[in-house]
Amino acid sequence: MINDFLYDGETILPINDLMFKRIFWNKEHPNILISFINAVLKRKDPITSVELISTEMDDEFIGEHGIRLDLIAKTSTDELLNIEMQKKNDDDMYKRSLYYWSKLYASQLKKGQKYSELHPVIAINIIDFTLFKDEQCHRNFVLKNAKTNEEWLRMLEIHFVELKKRQYMDQNDDLWAWAEFLKVPNSETLSEKKEEIQPIVDAKRIFDTAVADPKERDKMRLLEKTQRDNLSAINESELNRVKKEGLAEGESKKAIETAKNLITMNLSVEQIAVATGLTVEEVKTLIDSNNRNS
């Protein structure tokens, strides 16, 4: 099949950051992004248009940095959208999303502008790992009155869509269809449903075309490799840090035990400090502790 090309032992999927950008940041097919946004927001009055403002991912820099896909758009209701695709839980996702939300919210005001000119910001996090320990695929966080549960100042809205929990969703839900497409674009279960959602048909066509292009596949392979290498470097760095801390802690405990033995031999504070590498104050503290316990 046309989209069964392999690279590095993995099948190309729409969740590949570059592929995701090709599909959802397509100016010729804005209906794709609009359909996906409406599937997430589930409002009585759906979004009718979006203005693509920016994306932080530049194809030319794929090989140099661990690129974070960050799509920013404005809706027909003047709300700002920050859409992110995350495949690895390599950071505090909750705080990360709130941080990016706050950066976009604060960036709206220029010098001399009034707070009344601020527009709501919606963060949509599509994640390919388990974040919450239950079967709920989609979560929406807003500001509410803790006592009455009444929504307040609808300026903050943060969504999490966990793709690996899509099997728990109602298959009549359009968000299920999009989640299924992102993970299994050739899904037989999706084949009938996608015909009802024209934007998914368009998205599948863009996907097939991109996967069939050798240059596009090379870019996707390079991006995946860069991300894996960066993640490995982070993991190795963290492992080395833990090892160093463990060694330092072990050496500290050994020095303290040696100092305690020397204290019983009535050596001076200065002599014990020189022999163990502890400071004079640390040795005095040990002596005081030893006297209290005697």
Going by C-alpha positions, the residue among 110, 195, 126, 125 that lies closest to residue 164 is: 126
Average pLDDT over residues 143-158: 92
Residue 23 contacts residue 37 (beta carbons within 8 Å):
no
| Band (35; pLDDT cuts 50, 70, 90) | very high
Distance CA 144, CA 75 (A): 23
Highest-confidence range of 102-116, 215-229, 262-276, by mean pLDDT? 102-116
| Band (145; pLDDT cuts 50, 70, 90) | very high
Q: Which residue has the higher pLDDT, 170 or 53?
A: 170
pLDDT above 60 for 242: no
Position 268 scores a pLDDT of 81
pLDDT above 60 for 192: yes
| Band (277; pLDDT cuts 50, 70, 90) | confident
Average pLDDT over residues 38-52: 92
